Structure formats: structure tokens, C-alpha cells
Structure 1
Amino acid sequence: MFTLLWATLSSITTLAPSTPFFPPPNESSFVAHDHLAIQKSWGVYSPFHAIENYTPPPPGCEVTQVNILHRHGARLPSDSQTNDILPGVQKLQSVPVYTDSRLDFLKAFDYTLDQELLVPLGAIQSFGSGKTAFGRYASLISEGEPPFVRASGMSRVVESANNWTAGFAAASRGIYTPRLDVILSEEGNDTLQDHNCPNAAGSHREMREWLSIWSPSIVARLNAWAPGANLVEEDIHGLAMLCAFHTVSLVQYGYEDGSPLPFSPFCSLFTSDEFEAFEYSCDIDKYYSTGYGGRLGRVQGVGYVNELLARLTHTPVQDHTSTNRTLDADPATFPLNRTVYADFTHDSVLIAVFNTLGLYPTPKLSTKRPDPKRKWRAGEMMSFSTRMVVEKLVCEHRFSSQEDYIRIMVNEDVQPLEFCGAPIKGLGWAQEYARNNGEGDWEKCFVE
């Protein structure tokens, strides 16, 4: 099997009691926003940003295979998110006179956001990712061995995959034109969506606990700015989401990836500290759904991990969880001889895969007091267009001719892999859990 490369396990720290979370804001708290910093604090709604610069393989190592697990690009809110957003907007717009000019834009504001759809920024993100993949891994590609690309069936995921292949083709000046090879229906078994486990946990209770801590001061402030609006705590999370969704909807083609975005006026209603609190609500959401704190979260990443192991070892998929066994048994729809694979998916699936692999180990996440030293940060691990890249490398070794390694990067950040047993040969505990089909957890998804 594989030795796991460059591993150091981060220590877990706890937060000592400190001063109150949210001191009363002053005017500069609103005006002096660092736009690039703020847009990184929108959690799973943050635009893509690399956490580190890409680190090339060390001397003596050569990449021989790449697996990319890729979240779709920036999108518009879902139906349920729209239902969270609209009440706060409507309450604010019902007020005849505002006491603060930051709300004046609402007099002419018309909520026109559609639902679920990819926005131009999302297309730009995936196109740029495809260009980056070609620039980095062009040596692995030939006309007879193009990237193999799959996508879960939702439109924004399919479009992200097609934009990635277009970026790859553009970077190659049309020499290589990869296609979307397989679209997995979200109505059945699909390792690239997270609807296969009916008994899986939700995170509503935990998010509500945190909302009761970070939102009351904002409720009081906005109700003072808009007398009679009668906002409640639940409205605040929706308004903060709208800052992110409205902002990404304003970006048009021609935007340079990584530049500051044209901010929505809704962003001016919150301070930097409050955006950090909003990001923490995203941390909690993912942690207590398919992350380490979620019942049956880990098993939802097993199917993809078993597909990944099959590719790395060039052996048939061994899995009895969320895989489509008909497609995975067919070399036309699940080849084992490619050098570049790209799979397009949703954020919750990526979190489940991190959980299965043991990335970002976090035994506990408080719903009342954030640890400022925590590794579990949604804005870094799960922005729009996040990608986990698994590189298989062949490295020269002083005691043998060659040896296989893997390394995993999330948004260019190389992950510590000591938990999998490096440098001991054989399957680590994360792989054993996947090979054993979740050790009984998959059956719990369906027990009444």
C-alpha cells in the first residue's frame, strides 16, 4: 500500500475564559472593512482562496496520479436559505423611517436572486481551477489518456465540471479537450452527494445555541436603526448569508479571480467580529452534520474513499455503501488506468470525506465559545470551489529502488497524515474503516 507523506499531528488546545465575545461596535468597526479578510469569513459561502502556495513534490519524487475532489463554484441561495433570508429583508423594508443611513439602500432594493443556480463568479472559479490543473499536471496527460471527469447531477455541479474542463482545454490551447464523462443521478446511490443516509444528523440545535450568543446585540442594533422592524435572532443569520450571496451575484465575467469583490450593501450592517461569529456558525453546521460531531457523518464519506483507494491501487472498487456498483464495475464509467481524475460534488460530501480520512481532527467543537486556535474553519476548508487534491507520488528511497507515497492538499494546504500510520506499510485506521464499509455505521442509516 502507500506510505503517507510528511506527517505532523497538530496538538489540540482549549480556550481559557476570556473577555466577552462581542464588544459594542464603534463606527470604524463598520467602515474600515478589509474586504479580502471579510470575504474569507463567510464560511462555506466564501469565494475560493488558496490557504497556501502550492508546494511541489520534494526532490526525488514524481507525481504519477492525481485525484481532485472539487466543490461546485459560487451559487445563489437554496430554497430553504431563501426562506431564511426573506423575512429579515421584508421586516426591514416595512419600516417607513430609518435612524441610520446604512439602511437607506433598502428603499430601492428589490430582491431578485434566483435559487440554487451557479453565478458567473462560480463559473470563473471552476474555469480557473481547470487552467491550474493543466498547468500543474500537463505531463500526466496524453491524447489517449485525458482526465476522467464525473459530477453529481445537480445543475450547478454539472456546470462547474464543464467549466473546469473548458479551463483545462483553454490552458492546453485546445490540444486536450476533456469532457464530462459521467453524471451521477442524485436520485440513487451517488458518492458525490450526501442524501444517501436518511438517519444522518442535522445541526439545527447546535447552530441555534450559537445563534443565541452572537445575534442578540445585532438584533438590538438593527431594530434601533429600523424602529418597528421587530427582527428576531433567526433573521440575523439570513441577513449575514445575504451579504455573501448578494455579493457573489454582483460579480460579472471579466473579474480577476482572487480580487476583492464588489460588496453588497448588506455587508455594511455587520462588523468584522460579527462576520467571524457568522463563520463560526458555518463551522458548527458542518461539524455537527457530516463532520466529527455528526451522527453517521463519517460513513457518508466511505463510498468515495473506497473509490479513491481503487484508483490508487488499480483494483476494482470494494464497497457496499453509497457507490453505484453498476457504474463502478464498468471500465467505461469507472476506469482504473487514468492519471488525472476530477470529481465534482457538494460541500457536505467533502466534509464527510475529510471525516473519513481523519483530516482536521477536532474531538469537540463548542457551541458557546470558539477556540481561536481551532483547525476546523469552514472558510478555509470549504469555500466555494474548494478542492481536495490527492497526489500519488513515486519517490526514490535510499534503501530500495522506489516507493509509493500519497499526499493530500486542501486548497493547496498540505495535510498532516500521521494518523494513518506513516511510515508503516498497510492500511491505516481511516482506510480500514472504509474497507470495512463503515464498520456497521452504514446499516444505521436505515434502521427505524
Structure 2
Amino acid sequence: MLLKIALVVILTSSSTTAVIDVREASLAISESSKVPDYFDTTLGWFAGPTATGDSPRLAQTNAAPFPGVSYVPNGPLETQIPIRGNKHGKNIFELLGSLSPYFPNPRGFGVNEYSLPPGSSISWVNMVSRHGSRYPTAGSDAERLGQKIHDATGKFKATGPLSFLNSWKYGLGEETLVPIGKQELFNSGTLHYYQYGHLYPNNGSKIVARTTTENRMLESAEYFMAGFFGLDWPSKARLEVIIEEPGYNNTLIGDYDCPNANLGVPKGGYNAPQVWIATYLEDATKRFQEMLSGGLSWSVHDTYAAQQLCPYETVALGYSRWCGLFTFEEWQGFEYSVDIKFAGWFGFQSPTGRANEIGYVQEVLARMTHHTINSPTDNVNVTLDNNTLTFPIYQTLNFDFSHDTNILGIMTAFGLTQFNKTLPPTHIVERELIVSHVTPFAARLDIEIIRTPQPVDANRSAKAVYLPGPPTNYVHFVLNQRTVPLGLSMQECGKRDDGWCEMETFLKVQRKQIKLVNFTYACFGDYEPVPYGEITNGLPL
């Protein structure tokens, strides 16, 4: 039977009154079904582009074993490609910024890892995860270069390492998960079950997890839930699907309710990387130009797009010839270009860096302290967050699914200033903000509450772990399986060996962080962009 379903969404911001947007759609649905729209994963609204690309044929295209490299079976991606200048056998697929397939942070964030002291327990966790590896964004540099080469096919000749271009065809889709991306989220769900399975209530109630309507976001959540619970996950959890479109209040992609974030105010995050790209890819661009003749002009922008084709083709097709065209130093340059972009657009060098995701910070604090959000505040969707059906306040397991830039925005809004170093666009510097380590595909930030029977000594090498005192709760940030030491960014937390922060102290610090953010002005105010590097705190000047 065809029924008309009305989807009601309340938009709120601190600068406008509530607006009700009613959208109707016809769909086949059981007459007896009473599942609210925001828990129905079958509607397909606002899913974004969902084009698929060519099917992989890695058994045919794989060039391994490579000269001088002992054969190692691919698993499943081919990542053992020889790279000139790679003297220490490092993996370039851990230098691809936000395009890196998931890997745990190999160096940590400046603090050692410690197990829980005897008698302590993790009582609560809030995870925000990025989606898995995907096809390029519609209209991306990679897609543009693919079209440019297609249009020039038969009019140019490529030689040397670029000779494959004479018969190469662009075969990527748009924005949907590729197979390894599905596996990344399934693996993450399985890992999180081993870590936090004890927090699932055994009373038969379902937990609520949140994702967005975009196709890769919805599927990422579903694969994660299958990894955590198994294929019968719908009997254990409900997925709340929130509209992902500009203008809708959705803290999982907060910049969509922050117009200034997308109107050029943080354009330093675009301009500064262009300076660096022109510098580090100058030699590579000359090499490419020398290998091309005829009707295919080649710019440094094309060279940068070619670098992006390496990770995109690898995660989609298993292997890419583009990867071996660049030196190890040029891959380090690529990673740094992504770091500059993220810092200037969504980090502490952006005037909207904190504002983009301050609503998500408020949601985490509300979950921690067990209250709903009942009045319009920043970019929070009060319609959903004032209702315990859609915003449970006593869940011990909280799973959200978001994007790379939004996870960095969340870290910025929390005030994790250890990542605020300004990155010059002229040369690579030592830094904490390495996007490959912070938001690779399938990145995840786990925020734990740890309950201890007594206060824990900040010096974890002390003979007596516990200090005299009452039971104490601590907050622990774990980003890609490594501790983010809260004391490095929040002096009130103290210099603890384990990076924890006493919970009441953490809440006081975060209330101050929220007051720093003038959301209305940052997101809706009329102010001019400033040159990259003049902003260091994620706020407008």
C-alpha cells in the first residue's frame, strides 16, 4: 500500500526562530508499521551521490612482486609498491592524510598507555566514528583529472612511467563505500565489542546509535553495528538517521549549520595549501610534463590530483599505478598539504573551527551528566535532543557516525590545543596535527568515563596506584586506539602520566570552552577573511 509520510524537521539556531520544514514522499510501507522516520534506514532521502565504479580485477592488474621486494600476499590492498627515497621501508599509505586507509596511530599523542588499576572499570563510552574508505567526492580533483585525460585520449602520447596513460581509463564512482571501507567499519565494530561489550544492557532494551542520511554514513553505521552485535543487530539497536543537507541542524556535520564555514571566511585553509603544493610538487610536475607530448597540458594542480588518484584507486580497485610515480619526500609533502588544509579550514586556524562542532560537545556533556537539551542552543537540533527516545541520557554505549573534518572540529571545540600549532605553507615542521593519525578513513574517537574506588596517582609509576580519598570518575580520550593527554591542552587536568582528567574538572573546563564560542557571530556574522596564520584559537578575530 502506498502511504504518504511527512518528515518533520525543526531547524534551530541562536540567530533564527524555529522553522518547520515538512517534506512528503510516497513509498511502499506496511500499513501497520509505526517506525518513526528517524529510525527507518530504508527511506533513502538525502543520501547524496551513490555512483559505483568499475569492479576490481586485482589478480589481473597487480604488478607485484616488485623488483627488489620479496613477495608478500596483498591483504586485500596492494601496498608494497617501491617508492624512490623510501630508505626505511615506511608505508606511504600511512602518509595520505584523510585518504589513508585506517591504521592505529603508530606514534601516539605524547603520553604512554596504561591499563586500568585493579578495581577500576569503564562505566561509559561515547564513540564518534568517521565513515570507511570511499570513492572520491563528486566533482573532486581526481574525477576532474580523469575527465581531462579521457577528453584528450588519442590526442597525446605518454612515455616512460606515464606510458600507462595511453590506455588508462578513470573507473571510480562517487562517494559510496568501497569494499575495504565496509570491512574497516565491521572491524571497528568487532574491536569495540571486545573493548566495551560489557556496557551493553542485558535487559532486552535497544540502544540508539546515530548516523546521517548520506549513503556512506548509513552503511558505515550498519557495518559497524553488524561487527559489534552480529547480523541480528536490529534486535539490539536502533539507528537514528539525521538529515545531512546544508541548513539542517545536525551536529554530526555541524558545518552545514554554520554558513560562514562554507562561504569563504576560512579560505586560508584553501589558499595556504596551494602555496605548499606549488612548492613540493614543482619537480614532479616537470617530470610529468617531460613524459607527455601532444594534446594534454599538465599543471601542478593535475599533479596533485594524480597523487589523490593513488589512494582512491587503491581502496577501490586494490592497486594503482599512480602511487609509484612519486618520491617518498613528495608523499610526505602530500601529507603536510592535507594537514595545512584541515588546520586552516576546520582546526584552530579557522574562525569557525570551534563553532562548527560546539553543538556536539554540548551533546557529549549532556550525555555525561544525564540531561536532555531543551532550549535552542548553538547548532543543536533541540527537536531530537529534548526527547529521550531520540537522545537517550542513560545509555552507557553511545555510537555516532560523522566525517573527518567534523571529528577534527569536535577536537577543536573541546579545546585540544595540543593540535593548534600554525603550520607554515613553505616547509614541513614537526607537529601534533597529522591528519593521517587523526582522521584517516574509519577514524574513531572514544571518550571513556573510568570509575575508580579511590583517586589514582598522577604518577603511574608510583608503588601505590591509589591515593586516599573517595571513588572518583575520570575522563579518558582515545583517538585511533591511542590516548590523547587532556592535561596537555587543559592545565586544570594536571600533568598525568595516563592522560586522564578528573571528570568534574573536565566538565568545568568544557563549560568555559562553550562560553568562548560566540556561535551566532562565528557562523552568521559579517566579517572579513583573514590571512592564514593570524587565527590560532579557532575563533574569529
Do both share a fold (TM > 0.5)? yes
Equivalent-residue separation in structure 2 for 1:264 and 1:340 (angstroms): 39
Aligned match of 1:51: 105
Is 2:69 the counterpart of 1:69? no
- Cα offset for 1:134? 0.9
Amino acid at match of 1:432: R
Aligned match of 2:421: 363
Q: Give 2:251's match in structure 1, choosing from 162, 173, 191.
A: 191
Where 1:195 maps in the other structure, the secondary structure is helix
Equivalent-residue separation in structure 1 for 2:115 and 2:218 (angstroms): 30
Is 2:480 the counterpart of 1:411? yes
Cα pair distance change 1:178/1:122, threshold 3 Å: farther
- Cα offset for 1:87? 5.7
Equivalent-residue separation in structure 2 for 1:353 and 1:344 (angstroms): 12
Equivalent-residue separation in structure 1 for 2:138 and 2:147 (angstroms): 13
Q: Give 2:272's match in structure 1, choosing from 206, 229, 232.
A: 206
How many residues align? The count is 406
Aligned match of 1:432: 511
Equivalent-residue separation in structure 2 for 1:376 and 1:197 (angstroms): 23
- Give the TM-score normalised by structure 1: 0.84
Amino acid at match of 1:50: P
Q: Give 1:354's match in structure 2, choosing from 403, 408, 411.
A: 411
Structure 2 unmatched ranges of 5 or more = 1-80, 455-466, 495-501, 527-541
- Cα offset for 1:268? 1.5
Amino acid at match of 1:41: L
Q: Give 1:314's match in structure 2, choosing from 366, 370, 374.
A: 370
Asked whether the 8 Å contact 1:88–1:238 carries over to 2, the reply is no
Is 2:179 the counterpart of 1:99? no
Amino acid at match of 1:186: E
* Segment drifting more, 314-323 vs 236-245: 314-323
Aligned match of 1:160: 220
- After superposition, give the CA deviation of every residue in 1:50-82 in whole Å (9 maximum; x if it has no partner): 115985433332100010000000010112314
Where 1:274 maps in the other structure, the secondary structure is helix
- After superposition, give the CA deviation of every residue in 1:292-331 in whole Å (9 maximum; x if it has no partner): 1111111112111110011111122376111110100000
Asked whether the 8 Å contact 2:147–2:170 carries over to 1, the reply is no
Aligned match of 2:354: 298
Where 2:139 maps in the other structure, the secondary structure is helix
- Cα offset for 1:429? 7.2
Where 2:451 maps in the other structure, the secondary structure is strand
Where 1:265 maps in the other structure, the secondary structure is coil
Q: Give 2:335's match in structure 1, choosing from 264, 271, 279.
A: 279
Is 2:493 the counterpart of 1:422? yes
Structure 1 unmatched ranges of 5 or more = 1-26, 251-261
- Cα offset for 1:446? 1.2
Asked whether the 8 Å contact 1:152–1:192 carries over to 2, the reply is yes
Aligned match of 2:11: none
Cα pair distance change 1:29/1:166, threshold 3 Å: closer
Equivalent-residue separation in structure 1 for 2:365 and 2:373 (angstroms): 8
Equivalent-residue separation in structure 1 for 2:238 and 2:329 (angstroms): 42
Cα pair distance change 1:180/1:224, threshold 3 Å: farther
Equivalent-residue separation in structure 2 for 1:86 and 1:41 (angstroms): 23
Amino acid at match of 1:198: P
Asked whether the 8 Å contact 1:91–1:230 carries over to 2, the reply is no
Aligned match of 1:234: 301
Is 2:279 the counterpart of 1:223? no
- After superposition, give the CA deviation of every residue in 1:265-292 in whole Å (9 maximum; x if it has no partner): 1111111111111111110111001101
Identity %: 27
Cα pair distance change 1:369/1:94, threshold 3 Å: farther
Equivalent-residue separation in structure 2 for 1:369 and 1:211 (angstroms): 11
- Cα offset for 1:175? 8.5
- Cα offset for 1:230? 2.6
Asked whether the 8 Å contact 1:131–1:167 carries over to 2, the reply is yes
- Give the TM-score normalised by structure 2: 0.70
Higher relative contact order (CA 8 A, sep 6+): 1
- Cα offset for 1:48? 0.4
Equivalent-residue separation in structure 2 for 1:36 and 1:80 (angstroms): 31
Asked whether the 8 Å contact 2:344–2:350 carries over to 1, the reply is yes
Asked whether the 8 Å contact 1:31–1:268 carries over to 2, the reply is no
Where 1:320 maps in the other structure, the secondary structure is coil
CA RMSD after TM alignment: 2.6
Equivalent-residue separation in structure 2 for 1:72 and 1:180 (angstroms): 18
- After superposition, give the CA deviation of every residue in 1:354-377 in whole Å (9 maximum; x if it has no partner): 111233432311111111x21110
